[in-house]
Every structure is written in C-alpha cells, then in structure tokens.
C-alpha cells in the first residue's frame, strides 16, 4: 500500500502540473528529475516517464495505471486477500478516480462568460465612485469612513469573483 500511496502522490502532482500553468514546470525533464531527487519517484519510474511517447499532459496517466496494477499484483501473489470480485471493484474505483480527474477540466472550462465579469466590474466601480456623493448628505464627515469600508468590501468581493472565474489563475485575471 505504500507503493500505491507514492503513485497517488505522483499522479496528483503530475495532474496539477498538466492543469495549472504555475505547476507546468514539473512536467519538464528538469522538473521530473527534481521530483526524483526529492523522493517523489524512483529512478526507474523517472526512466519510464521519460521514455513514454505521450504528450506532457498525459504523463499523469502512468502513475494512475501503476496504482491499479500494484494491488492486482499483490492479490495475485497472495500478499493481499482478494478474488475476482475484489479485483473488479478495484478496477471500478480506479475508473471512478480517472473519471473524477478528467471531469475537472470540464468544470474549469464551463465558467461564467467574461462579458458578465466586465459588467460586474463596471457596476462595482460605479457604485464605489458614487457612494461618497450619496452618503455625504446622510452621514456628513463620517461618510469618509463608511466609503472606505464599502470600497474595501465591494472591491474585495469583486476580487473574489475574479478568483472564482479563474481558480487556477491561468488567465491572470487576479493580477
């Protein structure tokens, strides 16, 4: 099971390297060698990953396959108890895991339209600019503090909305 845990961590790191731009360096030969030097994979696993004839964003599938093969080998060798039903359940769960991994890019692609975000930006900016005029008659000099709090709240809310628009910051909306 230690091997499966190691494969799982490696698969997870390679998955996010293929999804988020900030982690893409992990898919390069130098990044893979660095992961090997830090103990995330063995030298033989590094050689296998480097010898694969697949695109960089498909490297994550190799550790996923290793995660499936290792328990089945353990069952065949008698190290782990299991029968045909257990192997079938293991295969089914690995399929669900792969489906979950493959569904994340679909959820990232199905985000709100950019025009909506621009519209919200204009609304928030207009609200924040007109608030001092509207509050001065009611609050007088205290409107300065109220405007500061309202500005902080609404611009923070807008930044949060931009983060929801691009949670992995691949399009640099939050900069």
Is 0.85 surpassed by the pTM of this model?
Answer: no
Please give the pLDDT value at position 112: 67
Residue 98, classed as helix, strand or coil, is: helix
Please give the pLDDT value at position 43: 92
Residue 151's nearest CA partner among 171, 168, 127 is 127
- For the chain (175 residues), the mean pLDDT of every run of 10, in chain order, is 85 87 85 90 89 83 87 83 84 88 78 75 87 85 86 85 74 60
pLDDT digits (tens, 9 = 90+) for 161-172: 777 777 776 666
pLDDT digits (tens, 9 = 90+) for 37-57: 998 888 998 898 888 888 877
Residue 28's nearest CA partner among 4, 46, 6 is 46
Q: Is 174:163 a contact under the CB 8 Å cutoff?
A: yes
Please give the pLDDT value at position 109: 73
Cα distance between residue 36 and residue 42, in whole Å: 6
């Amino acid at each position: 099971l230690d091997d499966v845990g190691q494969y799982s961590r490696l698969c997870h790191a390679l998955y996010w390297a293929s999804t988020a731009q900030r982690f893409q360096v992990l898919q390069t030969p130098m990044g893979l060698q660095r992961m090997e030097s830090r103990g995330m994979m063995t030298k033989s696993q590094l050689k296998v990953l480097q010898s694969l004839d697949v695109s960089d964003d498909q490297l994550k599938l190799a550790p996923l396959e290793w995660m499936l093969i290792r328990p089945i080998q353990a069952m065949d060798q008698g190290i782990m108890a299991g029968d045909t039903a257990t192997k079938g359940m293991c295969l089914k769960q690995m399929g669900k895991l792969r489906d979950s991994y493959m569904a994340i890019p679909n959820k990232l692609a199905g985000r709100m339209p950019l025009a909506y975000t621009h519209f919200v930006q204009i609304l928030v900016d207009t609200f924040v600019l007109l608030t001092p005029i509207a509050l001065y008659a009611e609050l007088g000099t205290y409107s300065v503090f109220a405007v500061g709090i309202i500005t902080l709240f609404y611009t923070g809310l807008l930044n949060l909305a931009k983060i929801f628009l691009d949670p992995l910051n691949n399009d640099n909306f939050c900069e």
